[in-house]
Chain A
Amino acid sequence: MIALSDYLILSSIVFCIGLAGIFINRTNIIMLLMCVELILAAVNTNFIAFSYYGGDLAGQIFVFFILTVAAAEVAIGLAILTLMFRSRGSIDIDVTNTLKG
């Protein structure tokens, strides 16, 4: 039977893969958004594992809200991405430095 620590170690590994993905693909905003999704999936797995082994259903409710917020975030992020591509012609993060002082 799978123990709680196995789930925690697996989700930490997935979390760190997402983190490394943010470091590696830091010029591509689509990849950044997908890595954030990967990190959220890892955190949700943590929540559900604790909810199952702790016998408390609040973790699953919290995962439900995380899914909601992540869906909204992806929708707005991709809309901003489309706008940026339309105005700049690129989604390279190095082009987005017009706000620097």
Chain B
Amino acid sequence: MMITSRNTAKAALFLILTFFSAASLWLLLEAEFLAITLILIYVGAVMVLFMFVIKMLDTDQSTLRAQFTRYLPLGIFVSIIVIAQIVLVLNAGQFDIAMTGIPEKHDASYSNITAIAEQLYTLYVYPFELAAILLLIAIIAAITLVHRNESRSKKQNISEQINVQAKDRMRIVSIKPKSAKESK
């Protein structure tokens, strides 16, 4: 539904629906922190950014649609092959997937956030800080990419200021004195 949608904005909405269902699956898998993070960050921030860009860049849909049917058989063919391969591998029994029992549920006092935080701040503290630095770099990169050569900026051009000539700044206009009749 998402990949074949005619409108890019509709495709983004379908992607949001997909994220919601993925988050509910993660809730079933007792990953509550990540499910809430997915909804907050992806639906709340990333997809809003997508919608902004989609609405801002009003693309010409007709030229994009012309290419659609050209690659449709190739896309379906590749995806069917990959699905068949993955299902075959999963059913081959190589990984003892069927033998993996269902783990027992945690009791009500178990907190997923506490468990993740204990791991994250002890064992994975350096990757955590690296992720923070990565996000900082991403912020700076995105801002500098968009704000480069901004025409509204008040940046000084030093050589232009030094080499300025008097005729660039000052205009001598000769004004005839008005006669007494006209001033009445």
Contact = CB atoms under 8 A, between A and B. Distances in A.
Q: Is the interface of B mostly helix, strand, loop or mixed?
A: helix
B57 A81 contact: yes
Interface residues of B, number: 73
Interface string A52-74: 11110110110111011111111
Contacts of A78: 49-50, 53, 142
A4 B97 contact: yes
Given A68-B135, A72-B138, A80-B145, A60 B87 contact: no
Nearest to B58: A85
Contacts of B4: 24
Interface of B: 2-4, 8, 11-12, 15, 18-19, 22, 25-26, 28-31, 33-34, 37-38, 41-42, 45-46, 49-50, 53-54, 56-57, 59-60, 63-64, 67-68, 71-72, 74-76, 78-80, 82-83, 86-87, 90-91, 97-98, 100, 102-103, 112, 115-116, 119-120, 124, 127, 131, 134-135, 137-139, 141-142, 145-146, 148
29 contacts: A4-B97, A7-B29, A14-B22, A15-B82, A17-B2, A19-B75, A21-B3, A23-B79, A24-B4, A26-B67, A30-B50, A31-B11, A34-B11, A38-B3, A41-B18, A48-B34, A53-B102, A58-B119, A60-B31, A60-B34, A60-B112, A61-B120, A64-B120, A65-B131, A69-B131, A72-B135, A81-B57, A83-B146, A91-B59
